[in-house]
Every structure is written in C-alpha cells, then in structure tokens.
Amino acid sequence: MFYVYVLKCIDNKYYVGSTADLNVRNRQHLNGSGSAWTRKYPPICIEWSGKTNNENLETIKTLEYMIQYGIYNVRGGDYCKFDLSIDFAEILYKLICKCPRCDRPGHFDNECACDVCGNRGHLTDECLHCTNCGKRGHSEVDCYYCYKCGRPGHSPDNCDACYLCGERGHFSNDCGYVFP
C-alpha cells in the first residue's frame, strides 16, 4: 500500500503525488526538494490523502483536479511536466472532457451513471432494472409492461393502443393525431 496525496499550493495551484511515506515526502515538498511544481508553488497544506493499492489513483486524482481547477493549475501523476505544450494541452482537454466508459462529458468512469436507472456503479448492460419499463426483477424480454401504452399484462404485438397517440380503439393508420 502507498499514499496518494493532494497538496494545495500558493496561487491556487495543486500538486498530486504518491509515496510510501507521506510525512517524509511532505517535508521534502516543504523544504524545496520535492517536485519542480512545488518548488515554484510551495505547498500550503495537504488537502487530501488516501492509502491505496490502485496504481492509477494518482493520475485519476490529477485529472479530477484538472477538471475542477484547470489544467494549468494542477500537476501530478502522468502530468508532472511543468510546462505543457499546446498540443499536449489539447489532448488533455479532450481526455478530461468526457468519460471513457460512456463517452459523455462531466464525469469519470467511476462516476458513470446507468442509462436505465440513473444509479452509479454499474453500466447499462449490467443493470438489474428492465430497459423497457425501468422496474426491477425482470428483463426487457420478460417485461409485462407494454411500451406502446404503458399498461401491464400484454406485449406490444397484442396492444390495442395507437402508436402515435397512445389511445385505445384505433391504430396509427386511422389516427387523427397531429404532431405539434
């Protein structure tokens, strides 16, 4: 196990690192023998630390802080280089702007929400909720709720509701519904 830590530095800068001994490494940063980033922006305090076996946590935390505070205000993990080139900054922006799991912006893969139930911690194809009605305990194949009318007890093939308006008693080819 090792520590991953986040240092809050002067000028609203942050440094993310990892170490086997947090106290020794913190003293190195404080006395100027830490990273180039903490030599230029001395640390104010340890903002966060955690003991882990996750070798990717340092880079994950760095990206989280880059999203929150900007790529020019955070260094650490795979992104320790003091000056970022324009090309590298563009790559970083693309990386931090979307989730690699669902390809949508605003979160990391460990925070990705299921499209069916909206909960975090599992993907849509791992969800225990039905993709048709959203209820638990059965799959879309076994769903007893009709997706055309929303009523239980029959399949869409046996539904007497119109595809367009959802009303019973006629079908879409006889429907007078006008789309707004």
- Termini Cα distance of the chain: 61
Q: How many residues does the chain have?
A: 180
Distance between CA atoms of 22 and 4, rounded to whole angstroms?
Answer: 8
Residue 150 has pLDDT above 80, yes or no: no
DSSP class per residue in 3-45: EEEEEEEGGGEEEEEEES-HHHHHHHHHTT-S-HHHHHS-EEE
pLDDT tens-digit map of 24-76: 999 999 999 999 999 999 999 999 999 998 888 998 899 889 888 988 999 99
Higher pLDDT: 176 or 16? It is: 16
**pLDDT exceeding 90 applies to what percent of the chain?**
33
Task: Say how far apart CA 96 and CA 69 lie, in whole Å.
Answer: 12
Residue 168 near residue 160, CB atoms below 8 Å: yes
Give residue 94's pLDDT.
Answer: 67
Q: Say which residues have a Cβ less than 8 Å from residue 161's Cβ, sequence separation at least 6.
A: 146, 148, 149, 151, 167, 168
Could you give the CA distance from residue 15 to residue 17 in angstroms, rounded to a whole number?
Answer: 7
Task: Report the chain's mean pLDDT, rounded to a whole number.
Answer: 84
**Helix locations, the chain, DSSP H:** 22-30, 36-40, 57-69, 86-96
Q: Is the separation of the CB atoms in 57 and 49 below 8 Å?
A: no
pLDDT of residue 9: 98
Please give the pLDDT value at position 180: 61
Spell out the domain ranges in the chain.
2-90, 113-143, 145-180
Q: What integer pLDDT is reported at residue 140 of this predicted model?
A: 75
- Under a CB-based contact definition with an 8 Å cutoff, are residues 74 and 62 in contact? yes
**How do residues 90-124 score in pLDDT, each as one tens digit?**
777 666 666 777 776 666 677 777 777 778 777 77
Q: What is the pLDDT of residue 86?
A: 78
Q: Are strands 2-9 and 13-19 parallel, antiparallel or unpaired?
A: antiparallel
Region 85-89: mean pLDDT is 77
Q: Residue 158, exposed/middle/buried by CB under 10 A (0-12, 13-18, 19+)?
A: exposed
Query: pTM for this one?
Result: 0.54
pLDDT surpassing 90 at residue 135: no
Q: State what percent of residues in the chain have pLDDT above 70.
A: 91
Cα separation, 19 vs 21, whole angstroms: 5
